[in-house]
């Protein structure tokens, strides 16, 4: 009887909660904290009862992940870029073991993240052999920051046993392409010329738009004749700003980037156009999926199995291999866009697996330079 009552009550609450949620979403302004609390509570109740009746929405989804995706998908669309930025600028918690030092690089605010197992020598020391990751945060080229990504960046530094330099590159629409790419190139030149770090110790990486920016930076470095880094790490890279692949449709209700029409997803405020400016969205530096990829360094590409960027990511991997690029690629079943940023308790351990893979990849790719530097230092 109790079980039956729970099922009936759950069904009732799900229907009623859904109706109230629609009403809530029609009011696009959460002007009071109470309104936001009520909104989240309604989504939470609906999601929990749906899971109780029907089971998890995806086999590998934890309760935390299912609730998080429900809240992010149900949130009303922002009215403008400023409200979108306010909503996205959530400072991620910094692990107790993290070591962060803020500085300035090429006139930009930047931060060095040192892993707890990183050798206690300065990154510029002649005997320094640990990897250095130049990290470019995601955010649709228009929002977010190093502070929103500091947990993710800290975990990459810990995984690879080295240091990460993350920069606050300029954002669109105030600074459309090629401003961000120019900042990334300047930061890379700072590492190899000002700090005299061997490029074979350096990895460039990023998530989402930061992954796309990583690729456009590599393409520019190749065109400029600059020495290439040892490798690249791409987490759910945004490589096709036309957002035209079918995975955008399949991800509806599963990935927080999914879109039902042109008013949703990254196109809700036309972020691609804000970044590209007057250039076509198919430009190779805007959508690296269309670029010639020959002579680029080895890459690690991680994708979520239900994310909106899955199709373009897999197509990019195939294209890179056709162009002779060595690519290690993993699709994490049932995971959403940049799931690594949600942590292990939310992703059910998938994030831990991803960071171990990232650490091993970086150590392997930078190993030859580290061994050579260590041998030279011992002479």
pLDDT in tens, 351-362: 999 999 999 999
Does the structure show a pLDDT above 70 at 217? yes
* Residue 307: active-site member: yes
Q: What is the mean pLDDT of residues 306-314?
A: 98
Question: What b/e readout covers 89-103, taking b as 16+ CB neighbours within 10 angstroms?
Answer: eeebeeeeebbbeee
CA angle 75, 76, 80 (to 5 degrees): 125
Active site residue 208: yes
What is the pLDDT, as a whole number, of residue 38? 86
Average pLDDT over residues 53-76: 93
The HSE-up count of residue 52 (CA atoms within 13 Å, CB side) is: 18
Helix (H, G, I), strand (E, B) or coil at 110: strand
Say what the pLDDT of residue 86 is. Answer: 87
Highest-pLDDT range among 69-83, 85-99, 245-259, 324-338: 324-338
Q: With bands split at pLDDT 50, 70 and 90, how would you rate the model's confidence at 247?
A: very high
| Strand pairing class (327-332; 108-114) | unpaired
Q: Is residue 279 within 8 Å of residue 286, measured between CB atoms?
A: yes
Residue 236 has pLDDT above 60, yes or no: yes
| The total number of residues written for the chain in this structure | 379
Of the listed 307, 312, 370, 373, which one is catalytic?
Answer: 307
Task: Give the pLDDT confidence score for residue 36 in this predicted structure.
Answer: 78
Q: Look at residue 152 in the predicted model and tell me its pLDDT.
A: 98
Q: Active-site residue among 130, 337, 370, 373?
A: 337
Contact 181, 286 (CB under 8 A): no
Candidate list 145, 154, 208, 258, residue with the active-site label: 208
Answer yes or no: 283 catalytic: no
């Amino acid at each position: 009887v109790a079980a039956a009552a729970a099922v009936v009550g759950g069904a009732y609450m799900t229907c009623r909660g859904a109706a109230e949620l629609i009403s809530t979403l029609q009011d696009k302004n959460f002007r009071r904290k109470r309104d936001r609390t009520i909104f989240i509570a309604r989504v939470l109740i609906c999601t929990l009862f749906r899971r109780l009746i029907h089971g998890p929405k995806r086999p590998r989804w934890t309760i935390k992940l299912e609730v998080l995706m429900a809240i992010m998908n149900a949130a009303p669309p922002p009215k403008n870029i400023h409200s979108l930025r306010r909503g996205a600028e959530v400072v991620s918690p910094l692990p107790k073991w993290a070591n962060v030092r803020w500085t300035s690089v090429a006139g930009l605010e930047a931060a060095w993240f040192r892993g707890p197992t990183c050798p206690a020598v300065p990154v510029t020391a002649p005997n320094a052999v640990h990897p250095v990751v130049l990290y470019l945060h995601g955010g649709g080229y228009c929002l977010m920051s190093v502070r929103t990504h500091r947990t993710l960046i800290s975990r990459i530094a810990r995984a690879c046993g080295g240091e990460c330099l993350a920069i606050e590159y300029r954002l669109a629409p105030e600074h459309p392409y090629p401003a961000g790419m120019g900042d990334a190139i300047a930061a890379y030149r700072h590492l190899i010329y000002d700090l005299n770090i061997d490029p074979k110790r350096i990895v460039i990486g990023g998530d989402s738009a930061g992954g796309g920016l990583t690729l456009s930076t590599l393409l520019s470095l190749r065109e400029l004749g600059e020495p290439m880094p040892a490798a690249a790490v791409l987490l759910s890279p945004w490589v096709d700003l036309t957002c035209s692949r079918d995975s955008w449709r399949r991800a509806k209700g599963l990935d927080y980037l999914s879109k039902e029409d042109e008013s949703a997803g990254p196109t809700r405020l036309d972020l691609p156009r804000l970044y590209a400016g007057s250039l076509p969205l198919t430009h190779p530096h805007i959508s690296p999926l269309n670029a010639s990829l020959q002579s680029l360094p080895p890459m690690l590409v991680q994708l979520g199995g239900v994310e909106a960027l899955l199709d373009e990511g897999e197509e990019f991997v195939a294209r890179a291999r056709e162009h002779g690029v060595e690519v290690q690629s993993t699709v994490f079943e049932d995971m959403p866009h940049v799931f690594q940023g949600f942590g292990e308790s939310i992703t059910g351990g998938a994030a831990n697996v991803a960071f171990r893979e990232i650490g091993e990849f970086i150590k392997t790719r930078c190993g030859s330079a580290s061994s050579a530097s260590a041998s030279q230092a011992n002479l």
